[in-house]
């Protein structure tokens, strides 16, 4: 490299010069490789022309001799006059690679981007939004249709879950894809916060953005439109909160679950039973069942995902379990290998005449043999299990167990070891049941105040955590300390059916938790529909802001319209009839095809779901409406790779 320019020898006294990349490339046209090769051949032909080539050499790129290159290499400046300005360089490069005086070739490389402006940019993004929304909205309501998704491997997936459909869609056109991606963000954000309402959020986004594009194209001020939209959304959220009703009974919980699972009463009742068993903060997990039917399995107390180390610890041969009543519980962070330490622990258990449970990273051969021998020969009831989890998670689980049982974790960090174990180090509980795969500890003897403080600490950690995985693990730990775990086992005749039902059960479970948290409003989209009436009283600073309010007013009719249309009736007629009357609970039951009191009929929506869907939809739609330019990469030309030659690789000279 000399003076920021790249040189290459073409022949004696002939060189190729590549100047630095010109950043302003609007006047530069890059030619194809075929043109470059033609110019290079012409340059080669001129090497024999001697003085003929020199005649065409311009002042600023003349080199007197080959020695000038050597001068440049040693730090001395070659005999080159100052180059022309950037604009003239760009003009020189406008024909791609050029021959200059038979000796020089210029080459430019640019990262290609395409920029769309104004109406064109918004229109292309709108097409992406509308096509994605059309695919998602068919799943809405009790008579919503299924969507079949092709998968890269395995059988196609059948679903009625809006966010699953949205995630699967991608467009070839990059600008359309930007619009679709932003709608996916709305669906994902709503799903993350409320766990349901993704289809409603998508339908609202499409309605708001579509109206916003028309208004901006008609000459409205985009920023005033946005202010009007924000003002209207705040008013609607306030109205919804004032009309929300808290739920507490099992029947109300079942109603929310039924609606969110697309009208399947069995799923709603199953969720209600699970919440009744484990409480509002209990963990409810969903798993594949092994039968045709849905089942509920509830585990009370703390369940550890580890079973006995050896089957010799079994006390009940009939069910192949080890059952210990009122045991002492030794909690050790490391492996137990010392024979003397094990003997001391056994002596303490024998002295108190109580069974012994050892929870540690592992119990090694000699120590394990001692435990088994004492169990079989001396009749001491003893069992050893491995500590659940790994790394920091294992430490946290052991600490939770210690607090629940009123014991201490024997760890080097606290200066404790098995040689110094005393009766106060042991934890205790009412009963332990240990199987081959797991252990359940019932009624730990820990201090209730300490357990509650630990639960509060876990709740704070859940709120502060940004990782979904960490949140899930923290919630599991909280459930084990505060109540128990319920497992919903979803059955079906095929893998596809089980997968589709699991999607609906997940939505129903999330919606139920949201309803318990913030309360409920009349369902079927009527809460948003009637909130649109309140916007007529809203005062705005100017006409453009008033149009922003009207955009939200019209968008709030979209959920009812979509649910009715999917049921095979005219959506506009249903919306009109509902707006004519004054009962805020009256709505259209799409499943039965009649107008009913939505709350009495059990058709209710969680406030958190509706509120989150509206706020997220308005936020992203406003951003799209105020967009004036979109920058995307130009698609790259995919050229076929050259065929590999015969013979050994790397032997071409």
Tokens read off for 391 = 């790394």
pLDDT at site 22: 39
Average pLDDT, the chain: 79
Residues shown for the chain: 653
Residue from 246, 275, 259 nearest 518 by CA: 246
pLDDT at site 27: 38
Lowest mean pLDDT among 135-149, 164-178, 284-298, 637-651: 637-651
Residue 575 has pLDDT above 90, yes or no: yes
Residue 98 has pLDDT above 60, yes or no: no
Q: How many CB atoms lie within 10 A of CB 97?
A: 21
**Tens digit of each residue's pLDDT (9 = 90 or more) over 351-404:** 888 999 999 999 888 889 999 998 888 888 999 999 988 888 888 989 999 999
Query: Average pLDDT, stretch 524-535?
Result: 93
**Which one of 374-388, 410-424, 479-493 scores highest in mean pLDDT?**
374-388
Which H/E stretch holds residue 248?
A: none
Distances (CA, A) of 486 to 91, 277, 476, 491: 73, 8, 11, 16
Predicted structure pTM score: 0.61
Percent residues over pLDDT 70 in the chain:
79
Percent residues over pLDDT 90 in the chain:
33
Q: How many CB atoms lie within 10 A of CB 467?
A: 9
Question: What are the structural domains, with CATH classification, of the chain?
Answer: 6-105 (no CATH), 121-245+521-633 (1.10.560.10), 250-301+483-518 (3.30.260.10), 304-446 (3.50.7.10)
pLDDT at site 152: 83
**Tens digit of each residue's pLDDT (9 = 90 or more) over 607-618:** 999 999 999 999
Q: Determine the Cα–Cα distance for residues 201 and 192; give it in Å rounded to an integer.
A: 13
**Tens digit of each residue's pLDDT (9 = 90 or more) over 209-222:** 999 999 998 999 99
Residue 621 has pLDDT above 70, yes or no: yes
Residue 648 has pLDDT above 70, yes or no: no
Residue 87 has pLDDT above 70, yes or no: no
**Tens digit of each residue's pLDDT (9 = 90 or more) over 278-318:** 877 677 878 888 888 888 887 667 888 889 999 999 998 88
Q: Determine the Cα–Cα distance for residues 225 and 363; give it in Å rounded to an integer.
A: 69
Residue from 365, 422, 356, 408 nearest 383 by CA: 356
**Which one of 287-301, 473-487, 586-600 scores highest in mean pLDDT?**
586-600
Q: Determine the Cα–Cα distance for residues 305 and 313; give it in Å rounded to an integer.
A: 17
pLDDT at site 642: 53
Query: Average pLDDT, stretch 495-501?
Result: 85
Class of residue 252 by CB neighbours under 10 A (exposed 0-12, middle 13-18, buried 19+): buried
């Amino acid at each position: 490299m000399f003076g920021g320019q790249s040189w290459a020898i073409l022949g004696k006294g002939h060189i190729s010069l590549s100047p630095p990349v010109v950043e302003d490339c609007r006047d530069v046209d890059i030619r194809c490789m075929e043109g470059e090769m033609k110019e290079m051949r012409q340059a080669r032909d001129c090497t024999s022309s001697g003085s003929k080539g020199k005649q065409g050499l311009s002042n600023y790129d003349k080199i007197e001799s080959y020695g000038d290159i050597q001068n440049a290499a040693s730090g001395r400046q070659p005999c080159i006059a100052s180059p022309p300005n950037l604009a003239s360089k760009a003009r020189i490069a406008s024909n791609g690679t050029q021959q200059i005086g038979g000796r020089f070739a210029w080459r430019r490389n640019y990262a290609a981007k395409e920029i769309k402006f104004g109406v064109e940019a918004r229109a292309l993004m709108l097409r992406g939004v509308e096509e994605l929304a059309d695919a998602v909205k068919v799943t809405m309501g009790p008579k919503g249709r299924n969507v079949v998704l092709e998968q890269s491997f395995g059988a196609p997936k059948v679903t009625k879950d809006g966010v699953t459909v949205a995630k699967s869609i991608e467009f070839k056109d990059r600008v359309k894809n930007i619009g679709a991606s932003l709608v996916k963000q709305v669906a994902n954000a709503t799903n993350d916060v409320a766990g349901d309402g993704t289809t409603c959020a998508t339908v609202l986004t499409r309605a708001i953005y579509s109206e916003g594009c028309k208004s901006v194209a008609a000459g409205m001020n985009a920023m005033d439109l946005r202010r009007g939209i924000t003002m209207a959304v705040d008013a609607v959220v306030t109205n919804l909160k004032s009309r929300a009703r808290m739920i507490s009974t099992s029947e109300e919980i079942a109603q929310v679950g039924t609606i969110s699972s697309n009208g399947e009463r069995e799923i709603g009742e199953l969720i209600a039973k699970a919440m009744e068993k484990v409480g509002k903060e209990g963990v409810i997990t969903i798993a594949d069942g092994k039968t045709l039917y849905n089942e509920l399995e509830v585990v009370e107390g703390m369940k550890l995902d580890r079973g006995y180390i050896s089957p010799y610890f079994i006390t009940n041969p009939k069910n192949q379990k080890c059952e210990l009543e009122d045991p002492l519980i030794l909690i050790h962070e490391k492996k137990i290998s010392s024979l003397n330490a094990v003997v001391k622990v056994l002596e303490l258990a024998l002295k108190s005449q109580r069974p012994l449970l050892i929870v540690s990273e592992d119990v090694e051969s000699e120590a394990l043999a001692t435990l088994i021998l004492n169990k079989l020969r001396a009749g001491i009831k003893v069992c050893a299990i491995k500590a659940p989890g790994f790394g920091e998670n294992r430490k946290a689980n052991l600490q939770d167990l210690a607090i629940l049982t009123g014991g201490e974790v024997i760890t080097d960090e606290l200066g404790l070891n098995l040689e110094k174990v005393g009766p106060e180090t042991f934890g205790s509980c009412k009963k332990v049941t240990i199987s081959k795969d797991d252990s359940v500890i019932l009624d730990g003897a820990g201090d209730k105040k300490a357990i509650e403080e630990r639960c509060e600490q876990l709740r704070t950690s859940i709120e502060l955590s940004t990782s979904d995985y960490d949140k899930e693990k923290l919630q599991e730990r909280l459930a084990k300390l505060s109540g128990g775990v319920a497992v919903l086992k979803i059955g079906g005749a095929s893998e596809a059916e089980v997968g589709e039902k699991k999607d609906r059960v997940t939505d129903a479970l999330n919606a139920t938790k949201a309803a318990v948290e913030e309360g409920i409003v009349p369902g079927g989209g009527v809460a948003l529909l009637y909130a649109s009436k309140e916007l007529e009283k809203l005062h705005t600073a100017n006409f453009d802001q008033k149009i922003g309010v009207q955009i939200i007013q019209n968008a709030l009719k979209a959920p009812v319209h979509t649910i009715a249309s999917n049921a095979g009736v005219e959506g506009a007629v249903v919306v009109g009839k509902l707006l004519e009357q004054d009962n805020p609970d009256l709505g259209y039951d799409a499943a039965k095809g009649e107008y009913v009191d939505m709350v009495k009929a059990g058709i209710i929506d969680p406030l958190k779901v509706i509120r989150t869907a509206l706020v997220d939809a308005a936020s992203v739609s406003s951003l799209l409406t105020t967009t004036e330019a979109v920058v995307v990469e130009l698609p790259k030309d995919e050229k076929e790779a050259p065929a590999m030659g015969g013979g050994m690789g790397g032997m071409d000279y």
